[in-house]
Amino acid sequence: MATVIGTGLKGMGCMRAASIVGHRQSTLHVQKLTRCCSTENTQEPDILDKTKLLKSDRMKKKTGDDEFIPFVIRGKEPQSIDRHFKKWTVFKDMKHPDRHNVMTTEQDWTKVWPTSGVFRWSSVPLALRQGVIRNETENEGIIPDKEGNTELIKVPNFLHLTPPHVWKHCQALKKFCTPWPEGLDSKEDCRLHFPVEVVTSDYCFAGPSIRDPRSRVVTVKVKLSDLELDEHARHKLLKLVGDRYDKDNDMLIFKTDKCPTKQQNRDYAIFLLTAVYLEAWKKMPWEDDIEGDDFLDYQWNLSKAKDRTVLNLMSMAEGDQNSVYHNEEENEILEKEEVKNYAKAISKIYDDEESIENLNDLKQSALNMLQLRTS
Amino acid sequence: MNTSVKVVLSSLLSRRLCTRPLHRVRQIQKSFLGTSSEDGSDPTNEVARPPVHRPSFADSLRKAREDAASKKEHSAQGSSSSESSSSSDSSEEDDSLLGKREPADLFGKSAKSRITSQDMFMTEQSDPSEHAMDYEGIYYIVSQEDQTRFFPSFIDSHYRIQARTFGGLYLMIRKPALEIIDIIKKSSYNCPLPKFIVYGKRGGGKTSTISHVMHYCGKQNHMLLNIPLVNDWIRARTNTTPSTSKAGFTNIPEQAQKWISHFAALNAPLIKDMKVTKSIEWTKKEVTEAGSPLQSLIDFGLLRQKYADDVVDMLLDEVMTCATENKFKVLLVIDGLNGFYQPTNMREPLQPQRFIHAEKLCLVDSFKRILNSGNKNVVAVCTVNEELRKLNERVKFTPFYLLGKEASQELEPFVPIQVENFSDMEVKNCLDFYSQRKWIQNSAALTDEGRKQIKFLTSNNPYAVWKVAGAY
């Protein structure tokens, strides 16, 4: 039956629609057929529900024609705008208000933002703006608000490390701490009593493995002036350590990460320090042949310039009996105050910086050394 | 004013000005001075000269002449005495100039009438040996005689222009030159003398400092060994030939010839008495025998370009032997000493894929020998110049940076002398001088505001002041 009617309704095209329609229509048809066929008065239509009857009556009134009841398919005609709008407004009313609007001023921030996370505009009670407008017409010339702003998401935030957070962390860690040892009031004291500083880090996170490759790195720091060294040993040690020496802070820094565990790396760093120190005190026979350029600082006494200068001064003294350098040996000339000052000024230029001040110093010391009188 | 902005502006400006083509500057000169000396006709000159200032000069000159004439009539004295009284400097020069160049003489004449104590920025004392510390910041004129003798070909094109414009070479007496002169005066020449290395920013007055010293030493009958610009030797596109006398060295004969003629012109009176001490056989036919005058060696060098480098070497040897025999004192003046210690732009004659290092040039080698000889009676005054370096290697203008470690060790002990930019007093004198010489044409630049602007634009750099003031 249903299939018959379904085919009769051409143009519907939709089997589902046809089946639904067929179901309803079939009942109607059955009713009509029975009405037509039977001579007796038909019973009250109990089988049909009230709504459908009402609907058909309404349709009758509309058309004013009892013979044909138009078939209404639900959803075929577009819904009215009013209804759509109403639905939307209802939905909007149902939406939760933004958290920052509801938040009180006594809100515990650590509960809003317990851990580090991406910026959520709805829960941050700050009037933030971020982004770029290309011209005055774009966004009415105003930099975009935080609401739905993706630019703010890109920026790393520290909302999980506010003073209340830190305070809470400290409170939580307090029970693991031991009292600070007495007599170590300043950093200088610490360095005096514990000259070797070992820096390691532990990493704690939720994951399948508790190991972290970064935790094996060990840094051992020692101040160079704390080590007992003579001039040769100091120079040799600096040559041995190379760029592990931090000139600005006078620190030796050994950073080891070659071994798999922290303990092994630590042992290795300490071994390096010991080996370098002991090696620095040894003196090999070939170390006597060292030249001026091998030193880290400029050594005027070992340069060719020294020979030239001494020769110059000696030949100056030959012509002038009043000269300070008259009848002096090379060693004696080098001991003179003027020559020492000159050497100092020259090395300053090479070691520090060739500034105008240093050059003026050099000029004065050179004039003094060459015994040139100026007014 | 923001100082950083100032620095940037001034650097931009100086760069702009340094790249300004010279021929344009010369054009300005021509229009400023009048077309040429040969014409001599007044109307053409009047057209060429700026209309505002010229009549006043002509008037003043006419007045001065009329006054002189009236004085002559009244006093009925000899004409020569009145002329000599009117002009403080030598009157002979004036006469010689009058014949040659009228417009320049106009300037010279008007200037001379003003070189008195009235002008605070000028001194009459043209002898540099008389310059003391209290002369600092004042201009002096190098007399015409000295100019032709000590500055025959000008050290710098910039100075040539200035001298032509102002009708004479005016140099400012500045502290570094005074210092060097003071030291040279007081030191005894029996022992090796120090090398002075003059350093400073570009356009700061290094060249004028060494020319002042050169003038002083020339006056004291020193032998002057001057290299006007090392740049000519290491940057110029000249012929290069492998040296025959020194293995592995290269000759630049054109430049060597140039230097020989420069040397001969500078030291003409001293060369007269000199004799060659060693005989040298150049070829079978050409022999310089011992005892022949030095002039013959110079002539040979000028005639035979092939041997010019060796002639320079020999000349320097002769000069050194004379210096050790106390015949005269020697001043070595090199502008751009750091050019001796860096690669050149020229390719090696036998291996064109390689550039010659300046140390491998014969000329440089022979000059370096004098520089490091430690000989007595020899003073060296050199400059280090950042312009000889490549554009990306001009971080500092200080001597140790520009010379490099090896070269500075080789030159030790030397005395570094800094040439700073103008002080306030010097810049005031300079602008006074320029406005009096009509180098500044715009009246706006003569006001205090204009001066402030010039100072701001140039940050008191002498060369920039010259350019900016000229542009006004």
Which residue among A318, A342, A372 places its CB closest to the CB of B187? Answer: A372
Which residue among B186, B192, B396 places its CB closest to the CB of A354? Answer: B396
Higher pLDDT, B470 or B292: B292
Residue of B326, B412, B421 for testing the chain A interface, max A β-carbons within 10 Å: B412
For residue A62, report the phi and psi dihedrals to the nearest 5 degrees.
-60, -55
d(Cα B340, Cα B230) in Å, to the nearest integer?
A: 8
Do A225 and A276 meet the contact criterion of CB atoms below 8 Å apart?
Answer: no
Residues of B with a Cβ under 8 Å from any A Cβ are 133, 179, 182-183, 186-188, 190-192, 194, 199, 372, 374, 376, 396, 398-401, 405, 408-410, 412-418
Higher pLDDT, A325 or B314: B314
**Which three-class secondary structure state does DSSP give residue A274?**
helix
Domain ranges, ordered by start, for chain B: 178-418, 426-470
Token reading at B264: 């001969």
Average pLDDT over residues A73-97: 71
- Asked if A309 lies within 8 A of B179 by C-beta distance, the reply is no
> Pick from B97, B102, B94: which is nearest to B36 by CA?
B102
- Asked if A311 lies within 8 A of B374 by C-beta distance, the reply is yes
Query: Per-residue DSSP letters for B311-376?
Result: HHHHHHHHHHHHHHTTS-EEEEEEE-GGGGGSEEEEEPSS-TTSEEEGGGBHHHHHHHHHHTS--B
| Among the ranges given (A30-39, A145-154, B258-267), the one the predictor scored with the smallest mean pLDDT | A30-39
Contacts of A366 in chain B (CB under 8 A): 194, 413-416
- Asked if B400 lies within 8 A of A349 by C-beta distance, the reply is yes
Could you count the other beta carbons within 10 Å of the beta carbon of residue A340? 15
Total residue length of chain A: 375
In CATH, the number for domain B178-418 is 3.40.50
**CATH class of residue range A187-288:** alpha beta
A218 at B interface, C-beta within 8 A: no
Contacts of B416 in chain A (CB under 8 A): 359, 362-363, 366
In terms of CA atoms, which chain B residue is nearest residue A342?
Answer: B413
A326 at B interface, C-beta within 8 A: no
d(Cα B77, Cα B75) in Å, to the nearest integer?
A: 5
Contacts of A370 in chain B (CB under 8 A): 194, 413, 415
Quick: pLDDT tens for A40-82.
444 555 555 665 666 666 655 555 556 788 888 887 877 666 6
Closest Cα of chain B to A295: distance in Å? 15
- Asked if B182 lies within 8 A of A309 by C-beta distance, the reply is no
Res B303: pLDDT: 92
Res A156: pLDDT: 92
Closest Cα of chain A to B369: distance in Å? 14
Res B312: pLDDT: 94
Average pLDDT over residues B31-40: 41
Which residue among B192, B194, B409 places its CB closest to the CB of A303? Answer: B409
**Is the predicted pLDDT of residue A2 greater than 60, yes or no?**
no
Res A276: pLDDT: 96
Contacts of B410 in chain A (CB under 8 A): 304-305, 308
The residues facing B288 across adjacent strands are: B280
pLDDT > 90 fraction of chain B, expressed in percent and rounded: 33
Domain ranges, ordered by start, for chain A: 100-177, 187-288, 300-370
Contacts of A362 in chain B (CB under 8 A): 416
pLDDT > 90 fraction of chain A, expressed in percent and rounded: 47
